[in-house]
Structure 1
Amino acid sequence: MPFWTFFGLQKGKASTAWPKRDQSAGQDGVLGMPRFEPEQCDPSCQECAQVCPTGAITVESHSNGQHRLEVDYGRCVACQLCVETCPTQAVKASFDWAFGVRDRADLLSSADPDQAVDQWRNPLESRVPFHRSLHIRHVDAGSCNGCESELQALNNPFYNLHRLGIFFTPSPRFADLLLVTGPVTYAMREPLKRAYEAMPGPRWVMAVGTCAVSGGVASGGYACGNGLEGVLPVDVYLPGCPPNPAAMIQAFLMFLDRMPQQVQRGRVVE
């Protein structure tokens, strides 16, 4: 008897029942995106913005002499430098990792605690036909291979993506969703567009990783622009460096309307 067959019979089912049941998503104790507490922010302090390697944090000055903290989670690589630098604990470490959104504006946050949170509205095109299955074509558009290592984990025994009716396909001609990783280098723009054009309609695009969302640390470099911005229309944004497998599953199911979006206007909805 092969070792892995014996191991499986001895240990039993290894796949998590999450998200169908209240079990572990496999991310216990893993740091996620930092949380910002505007009421604790010193208006004259700009230390977090100065150490941010991707410009995700900016401090805007207003005519009344006040400063306002602006955070773009679409640029955040969760390096935690802002958490380590903040002298007032206005920036705190968190375990928030499910940052998949349908609207790029939902990754933008300001220090205004009264900022309105808009509820997401259903798109014109229904995705009802894909509630039972979804086929994905992945294109690496210049990634460092961090996102790919997390993508590979989706098919391991713990996450077992197929149990959710979600599959990766080697051909764009059989794909419903184009999953893009990397900052979209100039050399990969044409192959990426060809893959998109080869997909049957209706077709959607998902930007996975901060690089694909905004360019990440490579944004504006000599070899690339700002991720998928201006290259293809994006339907789902999932920042992270890299986003973990559970975050990807949450984004897939959110796209299929099988899970709620957990981030709105840069704030986690409890």
Structure 2
Amino acid sequence: MALWTLFGLRQGSATTRWPAPGGDDGQADVLGMPRYHPERCGDGCSACADACPTGAIVADAAGGLEVDYSRCIACQLCVEACPDGAMTASGDWAFGVRRREDLRWAESGDPPASPAPTAGYRRSLHIRHVDAGSCNGCESELQALNNPIYNLHRLGIFFTPSPRFADLLLVTGPVTNAMIEPLKAAYEAMPEPRWVMATGTCAVSGALTGGGYAAQQGLGDILPVDVWLPGCPPNPAAIIEALLMFLDRMPQRVRGGQYGE
């Protein structure tokens, strides 16, 4: 018997039970999106907005702040710059939503719920991934989905090399101009019903690189998007949770830019 086989048998299963109760999602002590506490804001203070490199925080005409997590890369610069604790570090990582509007902070935090785009869909899910100009950060996290810890296949979710066998088109990157037509061709090759997931802040809004001479501001103006998942990059657990939310097997945690446990 090979030594690696013996070692594996002695170690036992490495796959987490998560998302079943009692499982480890692997994200303990990992920083997520900063939490916004508007009641702590000093009058006329825009230190966090001035520090934000992607325009996720913008000072409005009334002297308040507009916070848009669809542009957030979780760099924590706003947390470091804020003198009043209005932006605080958190472990909020599961930011997958069905409507992009849910990523914009709202006072109520509870806009109308969106119906699952896959209502009644009970088959295994096959995904075609297209890199539309990513830095490969998101790709590193996608690769981790099939490692022994997360083992995506156990959830009935698979990656396929051909769009002709795919149910979901998962797109990373801000969509460079050179990738617009190949991306549309991949989408058109998919059978109906077909869905699209923007994965990573670049695909959601363009982030730092979007809107320049060579790239779009994310996927929204090119294809109809059913799931939005910001993050730079979103971690493997966030990707899995967004996929299960898309399949209506887990609840959406974020509404009106506010995170619920």
TM-score, with length taken from structure 2: 0.97
Matched, 1:225 2:216: yes
SS of alignment partner, residue 95 of structure 2? coil
The runs of 5 or more residues in structure 2 that have no matched partner are none
State the AA in 1 paired with 2:53: P
**1:85 alignment partner, one of 81, 92, 113:** 81
Whichever residue aligns with residue 204 of structure 1, its letter is: W
> Partners in 2 of 1:227 and 1:133 — Cα distance?
28
CA distance in 2 between counterparts of 1:186 and 1:13 reads 44
In structure 1, the residue matched to 2:41 is 41
User: What is aligned with 1:121?
Assistant: 114
1:146-183 alpha-carbon deviations (Å, 9 max, x no partner):
00000000000000000000000000000000000000
Matched, 1:248 2:244: no
Counterpart CA distance in 2 for 1:132 and 1:206 is: 18
Question: 1:217-236 CA distances to partner (integer Å, 9 max, x unpaired)?
Answer: 10211110101021000000
Q: How does 1:63-78 map to 2 (within 5 A)?
A: 67-78=63-74
SS in 2 for 1:151: helix
Which deviations, in whole Å up to 9, do the C-alpha atoms of 1:193-230 show, x marking residues without a partner? 00000000000000000000000110211110101021
Partners in 2 of 1:161 and 1:126 — Cα distance?
19
After TM superposition, the runs of 4+ consecutive aligned structure 1 residues lying more than 3 A away are: none
**Alpha-carbon distance, 1:118 to partner:** 2.1
Q: Quick one: distance in 1 between partners of 2:237 and 2:109? A: 28
Give, in whole Å, the separation in 2 of the partners of 1:2 and 1:257: 42
Contact 2:145/2:236 (<8 A) preserved: yes
Distance 2:105 2:3 in 1: 51
Task: Establish whether residue 235 from structure 1 lines up as the match of residue 231 from structure 2.
Answer: no
Partner of 1:55: 55
Deviation (angstroms), 1:69 = 1.1
Matched, 1:197 2:188: yes
The letter of the residue matching 1:29 is D
Q: CA–CA distance in 1 between the matches of 2:234 and 2:2? A: 34
Q: Distance in 2 between matches of 1:108 and 1:149?
A: 27
- 1:102 correspondence with 2:95: no
Answering whether residue 16 of structure 2 is matched by residue 16 of structure 1, we say: yes
8 Å Cα contact 2:142/2:236 also seen in 1: yes
Q: Deviations over 1:111-159 (max 9, x none)?
A: x4xx351241325x64423x34100000000000000000000000000
> C-alpha distance in 1, partners of 2:109/2:243?
26
Change (3 A) 1:221 1:116: same
- Distance in 2 (CA, whole Å) between partners of 1:255 and 1:11 is 34
Measured in 2, the distance between the counterparts of 1:188 and 1:3 equals: 45
Gaps of 5+ in 1: none
2:255 aligns with 264
Aligned to 2:148: 157
